[in-house]
Structure 1
Amino acid sequence: MPTAKDFGTRAHHLSRSRGPLCAGIDPHGALLQHWGLDDDLAGAERFAMTLAEALAEECAFIKPQSAFFERFGSGGVALLERVIAECRRAGALVILDVKRGDIGSTMAAYAQAYLDPASPLAVDAITVSPYLGTGSLQPAFDLASAHGKGLFVLARTSNPEGKQVQMAKRRDGKSVAQSVIDEVEERNAGADPMGSFGIVMGATIGACAAEGEARLRESTYGITHTTASQRDSAHDLSQFNGPILVPGMGAQGGKPSDLPRVLGAAASFAIPSYSRQIAQPGPAVASIRAAAAALQDECRSAMGE
């Protein structure tokens, strides 16, 4: 059974007190330039540490994108370690966006790098890719369980290219994305208030037409036709009991009103993620906080909180 140390329990309670918003820290070259900074390690440090100062005591979730730090080499990784430490010290739960996915000892090494408390890169949760098979992520599931950490498994991402793989149909008629959702769902069985294993569902995938609802229409009314939009976005989240990281918000086109439409009843588990829309008002700390607070209120309203 979950305890107060489990990621799912901590995420549930902190999102209720601070709000569901996840603030990204992405030292992208264009954002550094927007702030009047050079696209180098010093600029990335000013950018990242300012966002950490502005947001880590205000938001429940902070999500650094590892690639934007890694591009500066060892100095960038050292900066990422500082950002993680500062955000966790301020009470935020850090979700590191690394999208790791491999097999055997390599996956175990990735898990150790980010989920072992002894690692300088240890965070509260990471994003992982299941497209070598969800079972290939077992070392990450095991280490996360051992240390009360979380995982967010890519299910239906906001990029249009993802549909080719994620919405491919298996022999049983279930989409690849739905099979990922179902496998993660099983790992959260019995968790209260929610499990520690989440999924990633992009805000821009379109209106939600849950597979369960489609089956109900068919059995009740004999209706089998669905639109292309419905077929592309049909997912059954009715039994899902874990956090749902929702990228694609803000600059990519996702809006708070998309949360109940895309996730249905599971919108209460949403962690809507914004990066550029929060960072653009900077570098003034007060402006960044005001932008985050406004988005927090919009998301809470859309989620019925």
Structure 2
Amino acid sequence: MNRRSFLALGAAVAGWTALGACSAPSIAADPRAPGLLDPTRKHTAEAVISTFENSTTELPYAAAQRLGDGRGITAGRAGFTSGTHDLLLVVRRYEQIAGPQNPLHRYLQPLTRIDSQVADGGDGDSTKGLDGFEDAWRRASQTDPRLNQAQDAVYDDLYFRPAMDRARAIGITNALGQLALLDTGIQHGIGSGPDDLPALITETGPPAGDDPAWLRRFLEVRREHLEHPAYEETTDVWRESLPRVDTLESFIDQRQFDLATPLSWTFAGSRFNVG
């Protein structure tokens, strides 16, 4: 897997109930240093991450495909996958909101079965019982806003809130620093693995607030882990993600710590902007 190992996810979702509800506390906005707690900056950060993952600033809520990357079906705004637990959580949350008559209800059982198999060391690439899932997902996303609401809720609970909690704990208040932590958490995981966000922060050392030197060192540590990941089977895929670090470092060079718009950036040779 190139990100979000199943075990890392297990730690991140420890507070979820069987229906997919999360007990993570909400984060109060700090008007002195809003960072990504400001909706506009959060939107900008998510647009940047979407270019990393989807080559577009638009969040691909309706996307669903089989990439052949060992994680089964990849779907939705954050690349939720059937092989890493979070796609199951989205479908559960959707059912909680929309009820059992929703068009994805029939996939809950096979997703749960795959999830259990992966937890026992099985194949995360299995899509047994998921025939037609991609079309059903696309139609539901395009016609029922509750599926996209479920995606937003799971994304916030699994990735955004934990990353912001981590940023707050180490004194990172500017939007760019929080973006770097969020993007790392989405790709690497926020669990206890050797390549996960907490391990990279520990390896970087304690920050002195919003110190650009610390952020640059953190990205250097992340680059080292992408080039030489703890799990050899991820090496080729992770090295493909090195341009993510290049782009984040370019924001430091440009002193775009506030992610003020209009904002332009280059990723993997393509130019993007948010007005």
TM-score range for the pair, normalised by the shorter chain length: under 0.3
Higher-helix-fraction structure: 2
The structure having more radius of gyration, on CA atoms, is: 1
Normalization by structure 1: what TM-score? 0.24
Higher-strand-fraction structure: 1
Normalization by structure 2: what TM-score? 0.25
